Amino acid sequence: MAIFQYKARNKAGSLVIGNMDAPNPQIVSQELGKMGHFPVSITTLEEKKSGGKELGFLERHQKVPDEELVLFTRQLATLFNAGIPLLGALTSLAEQVEHPKFKIIVQNIRLDIEGGRSLSEAMGKHPEVFTDLYVSMIEAGEEGGMIDDILKRLADLLEKDAQLEAEIKAATRYPKMVIGAVAIAIGILMKWVVPVFVKMFQKSNIALPAPTKLLIGFHSIFVEWWLYTLVFFVGLFFAFKKYTATEQGRLKWDLIKLRIPLIGPIVLRSAMAKFARVFGTLQKGGVPILDTIEVSANVVDNRVISGIIRGLRISVQEGLGIAGPLQNSRFVPHLVVQMIAAGEESGALDEMLIKVADYYDEEVARALQRLTVMIEPILIFFMGLMVLFLALSIFLPMWDMSKMAR
C-alpha cells in the first residue's frame, strides 16, 4: 500500500484534493470514479516515475495518420461518456490501435498516468502526434471537468482539418499528373527522338530557323550539361528551403503566397477557417483567452496571419477586445471582423467564430473547384504551345530541305 495524493473534479466541476491509500494509481482512479469524481492527477509522495517502451528507429520516423488520431480521439470520448475510467479506456484503446508507433505511444501514455501524470502532461511528451492545440484543449477539459465534451470537439476539429487537406490534394492531383506526364514525354523526346533530327539538320547546309536552333540548344543542355543543370536546380531548391526555414524568409514567402493570383485567396480563406475554428473551439472549451490566442497563432500555417493573431494579446490585455485590431489589418476579411464584433457584443464569440469557420471551409472548397476548372485550359494551352514549338522546330527545316531537293 502507498499514499497517493489526487486532484479531481466533482460533478459540479469543483476541484477536489485529497489523499488515498491504495496499491496503485489505477485503484485510486477507480475509487474516484465510484465517488463520481473525474481524476485530474494522481501522484505519490515520492513522485513515482513511469517507464515506457522506447520508440525504435523506424517508429521514430513514422508519421501517425490523421485518421488514426481522429479515431482514437472519438473512441476515447465514447469510452469516457460511457463512464469507463481513464486507465481502463487507454488499456482498451492500446489493444485496438494498429499503427505500431501510435500503439507504443498510447501504451506509454497509460504508464505515465499510472505514474501520477495527468492526461495532458502524458500527451505533451509526444508533440509529433499531439499538437499544442490538442494538449491545451485536453488541459482545459481536465480543469473544467468536461474531458468527454472536449474530446468530441477535438475529433470534429481534426476531421475538418483532414477534410480540407484531402480537398487540396484532390484539387492539385490532376495538374501534378499532367505536369509529370509532360515532363516524361519531353525526356523521351530529348533522349531518343530529337537527336535523330539534330544530326540530320547539322549535316545539311540550310539556314536553320530560330525554333530549330532553340531546340538544338535545349538538346545540348539536356545531353551534355545535364549533370550541371541537375546540380543547379537541386542547389536552388535547397537554398530556397534553407532561406524559408529562417523567420524572415518564411515571413516573406508567406506574404508572397497571399499575393499570388488565384492561390492567395485560397491561402487566406484556409487560414481564416483554421483560425476561427480553433479560436472558437478553445473559447467554447474554457481555455483562457491569452492561451487561446497563442495556440491559434501557432496552428495557422502562415507567418503573416499568425503575426496578426499574436498582436491581439496587447488589445486583450488592455480590455479592448479583438475586433478592433483585426479591422486595421489589410489581410483579415471584413466579414470576419463583423462576425467577431457581433460575437463580442452578444457574448457568443465562440459560436460566431464556428460559423465563420464553416463559411470559409465552404469557400475554400468552392475556390479549389474553380481553380481546378481554370487550370485545365491553362495546362492545355501550354501543352499546345509545346507541341507547336516541337512541330515548327522539326518541320520548318525539313520543308526547306525538301525545297532544296526539288
Q: Which residues pair with residue 19 across a beta bridge?
A: 5
Q: Is 60 contained in some domain?
A: no
Instruction: Supply the DSSP symbol for 189.
Output: I
Structurally, the chain folds into a number of domains equal to: 2
Q: Which residues pair with residue 43 across a beta bridge?
A: 5
Q: Is 273 contained in some domain?
A: yes
Length of the chain: 406
CATH number (domain holding residue 403): 1.20.81.30
Per-position pLDDT tens, the chain of length 406: 566 777 887 776 677 777 777 777 778 888 888 888 888 777 775 444 445 566 666 667 788 888 899 999 999 988 888 888 888 889 889 888 888 899 999 999 988 888 778 898 899 889 889 988 788 888 877 877 778 888 888 888 888 888 878 888 887 888 888 888 888 888 888 888 888 887 887 777 778 888 888 888 888 887 778 888 889 999 999 999 999 999 999 999 999 999 998 889 999 998 999 899 889 888 887 778 888 898 888 888 899 999 999 999 888 888 888 988 888 888 999 999 999 999 999 989 999 999 999 899 889 888 888 888 888 888 889 888 988 988 888 888 888 777 766 6
- Cell 470576419 belongs to residue: 336
Neighbours of 333 (CB within 10 A): 17
- Cell 484531402 belongs to residue: 166
Q: Do residues 41 and 180 both lie within one domain?
A: no
Q: Is 107 contained in some domain?
A: no
**Tens digits of residue pLDDT in 73-115:** 999 988 888 888 888 889 889 888 888 899 999 999 988 888 7
Q: Is 80 contained in some domain?
A: no
pLDDT recorded at residue 371: 84
- pTM of model > 0.75: no
Judging by beta carbons within 10 Å of its beta carbon (0-12, 13-18, 19+), is residue 78 exposed, middle or buried? Answer: middle
pLDDT recorded at residue 244: 93
Q: Is 82 contained in some domain?
A: no
Give me the sheet containing 15-22, strands edge to edge.
15-22, 2-9, 38-44
**Nearest CA to 268 among 331, 329, 359?**
331
User: What is the C-alpha separation between 406 and 403, in angstroms, rounded?
Assistant: 5
Give the long-range contacts of residues 91-98, CB within 8 A, separation 24 or more. 97/68, 97/72, 98/68
Q: Phi and psi at residue 38, in whole multiples of 5°?
A: -105, 115
SS3 of residue 128 by DSSP: coil
User: What is the C-alpha separation between 165 and 148, in angstroms, rounded?
Assistant: 26
Q: For 116, left (φ over 0), alpha (ψ -120 to 50), or beta?
A: left
User: What is the C-alpha separation between 24 and 164, in angstroms, rounded?
Assistant: 44
Q: Do residues 385 and 245 both lie within one domain?
A: yes
Q: Is 344 contained in some domain?
A: yes
Q: Is 117 contained in some domain?
A: no
Do 7 and 16 contact (CB within 8 A), yes or no?
Answer: yes
pLDDT recorded at residue 275: 92
Q: Do residues 378 and 238 both lie within one domain?
A: yes
User: What is the C-alpha separation between 401 and 202, in angstroms, rounded?
Assistant: 12
User: What is the C-alpha separation between 371 and 351, in angstroms, rounded?
Assistant: 30
How many Cα neighbours within 13 Å face the side chain of 51? Answer: 1
3-class secondary structure per residue, 152-178: HHHHHHHHHHHHHHHHHHHHHHHHHHH
Q: Is 115 contained in some domain?
A: no
Q: Phi and psi at residue 145, in whole multiples of 5°?
A: 65, 30
Q: Tell me the three cell numbers of residue 226.
A: 545535364
Encoded amino acid at 12, one letter: A
Which residues span the domain enclosing 197?
A: 171-406
CA distances from 190 to 4, 222, 393 (A): 75, 7, 13
User: What is the C-alpha separation between 114 and 94, in angstroms, rounded?
Assistant: 15
